Amino acid sequence: MAEDIRVPDLGGSDSVEVIEISVSVGDSVAEEDPILVLESDKATVELPAPKAGKITALNVSVGDKISEGDVVGQLEAGEGSDADDASDAAEAPAEEKEPEAAAPAKEQAASGGVQDITVPDLGGADSVEVIEISVSEGDSVEEEAAILVVESDKATVELPAPAAGTIKSISVKVGDSISEGDVVGQMEVTGGAPAESAPAAEAEKPAQASQPASAPAASGGVEDITVPDLGGSASVEVIEISVSAGDQVAEEDPILVVESDKATVELPSPSAGTIKSISVKVGDSISEGDVVGQMEVSGGAPASSEPAPQPSSQPKSSEPAKPAASAAPKPSGEPAAQPSKRVHAGPAVRRLARELGADLGRVQGSGPKNRILKEDVEAYVKRALSQVQEGGAPAAGGAGLPAVKLPDFSQFGEVERVGMSRLMKLTADSMQRSWLNVPHVTQFEEADISEMEDFRKSMKAEGEKRGVKLTPMAFLLKICAKALEAHPNFNVSLDMENKEIIQKRYIHIGIAVDTPDGLVVPVIRNVDQKGLWELAEECQVLAQKARDKKLSPKDMQGACFTITSLGGIGGTAFTPIVNTPEVAILGVSRSKMAPVWDGAAFQPRLMLPLSLSYDHRAINGADAARFTNTLRAGLEDLRQLLL
């Protein structure tokens, strides 16, 4: 029996965008296999299959906005679904047991033996996502060593081992959501006291301390910004200051980023308003209840709607304010200690970067949601050392080029800031990476396509019968495939790290498609093995999928060469940017009638401008000229396609 696939709790997001569809109708999936990939302004999340079975319907497309509870498809449950239901039922009462789950584990740790690894206090978060598993079965760990890395919408936290011992099992996987008290695995304890012996009541104490900050906000005016509950940490280090005096902030916008030995946490704004002052600097240690600045509340209800603070919490929020305020005259020194940009990294990674002297703002993350891993820091340092030893510039964002500092444009007139779309950000990064890494040269040529156009137009009636329009792009694809066969040095990629040339034995060609949201490049595979009608039909289908935002990641991967045509818009020539790791790209401009000397007289001929940009590390100028000669010859005499 088919059942609806519904959008689960989105962690507070009202609406998220579908950025990838991982399955098709008819696919068989296991429980928890990804169905969709969703993206909000704070996270990228996989929507899992609720059970094992077969996908019978999908109701969404890439680019659609969906909300919690929406039906995105249907699933016909397969074998084992009853067991899944049973396990779901077994988990239902877990909430009642959560407060007591940690206590037995500690008793077991005291005398050795196998104990459960439970999720500790999450600082108020109800449910967090597992984004990294740091250990495997059989690993020996020290007390407090990281077991998992979890992430909420405000913090990345390492879940520590409760004692020293050996990991027996891990019962969660990356992408799972877990809550305080959940059992995530088991370990064999080597003996000794548990990692944490503090009573549960101690963890509850700080819960009331974050309330005083909201009291002055009820009627607007200036209020203190105080440090909220730190999840049990007594003192944390300020590693980034996200605002300056005079900045406008919304409620929950980050004010500071702080770091303990287990977590990196954003300290949120308690209300909407204007920052009056920040009284701490990068490197300061702060504790729950400390005053770290002041803000002028824009009015209305406070950020927290909880009742006024109890008298017992008043001394904590007022006493530490004095030492923090003494730092106020020195906020100008803070930027020098910050990374060059805000980064997404866990505490262990930040610690490693500090030890190695690496600027995390310059490191490209390869983890979930571009999170920076230890391997990314190590690879960055290795590249930097290698380049310095070879006499080059150290690795940096923008290849070591200084960033462009923007003026305040509002001083010249009215301005509006609009966030880049996801596609625009990806294109901008890709184009900058290609331009900075590839030495570009462009070879220009013109081809007489008079006969080709006469033949193409003569096939109009046949195209109508087939339901396919035979466009110039089909001819360009076929002739480029012939040129790649004749000049295989254009069908390569360069591995500069290993100093190797990767020769490809297949011919897949990308075609740039202009859409309302930006440029996308779907890929036509095995172009050399297809006829003109088949290529024309595939171009038509992929271009429509691109405009409808229905291209899958597979549709845009694997190209050896790219064709980008501006012929339908205009222009006489242009210099396209090579789509690295490809080594060449063909630009096509608008054809025009021109007088061509035939040896006796000038004849009107339809001429097509071609612009071939290439990577000069892989291709020299003579080879580029030979390649464009092959293209010209094929376009001018279609009989070349038969050879």
Q: Which residues are catalytic?
A: 616
Nearest to 236 by CA among 284, 289, 277: 284
Q: What are phi and psi of 181, to 5 degrees?
A: 95, -15
Residues forming a β-bridge with 165: 141, 189
**DSSP letter string, 53-122:** EEEEEE---TT-EE-TT-EEEEEEE-TTHHHHHHHHHHHTTHHHHHHHHHHHHHHHHHT-EEEEEE----
Question: What is d(CA 363, CA 458) in angstroms, rounded to the nearest whole number?
Answer: 56
The answer to whether the peptide bond before residue 194 is cis (omega within 30 degrees of 0) is no
Question: What is d(CA 249, CA 263) in angstroms, rounded to the nearest whole number?
Answer: 24
Question: What is d(CA 52, CA 560) in angstroms, rounded to the nearest whole number?
Answer: 38
Q: What are phi and psi of 413, to 5 degrees?
A: 160, -175
The token pair at 408 is 């305040």
CA quadruple 308, 310, 313, 319: dihedral positive or negative?
positive
CA quadruple 567, 570, 572, 576: dihedral positive or negative?
negative
Question: What is d(CA 281, CA 538) in angstroms, rounded to the nearest whole number?
Answer: 58
Residue 394 near residue 400, CB atoms below 8 Å: yes
Residues forming a β-bridge with 319: none
3-state percent breakdown (helix, strand, coil) of the chain, nearest 5: 30, 30, 40
Question: What is d(CA 308, CA 298) in angstroms, rounded to the nearest whole number?
Answer: 20
The answer to whether the peptide bond before residue 581 is cis (omega within 30 degrees of 0) is yes
What's the length of the chain? Answer: 643
For the chain, the farthest-separated pair of C-alpha atoms sits apart, in whole angstroms, at: 104
The token pair at 619 is 């291709």
Question: What is d(CA 424, CA 426) in angstroms, rounded to the nearest whole number?
Answer: 5
Neighbours of 157 (CB within 10 A): 26
Question: What is d(CA 187, CA 114) in angstroms, rounded to the nearest whole number?
Answer: 5
Q: Where are the alpha helices (DSSP H) in 368-507?
A: 374-389, 422-437, 450-458, 460-466, 472-486
Residue 623's alpha-carbon distances to 71, 443, 481, 583, in angstroms, are 55, 10, 16, 12
Q: Which one-letter DSSP state was computed for residue 393?
A: P
Q: What are phi and psi of 24, to 5 degrees?
A: -125, 165
The token pair at 124 is 């108020």
Three-point CA angle 14, 17, 20, nearest 5°: 145
The token pair at 32 is 């928890």
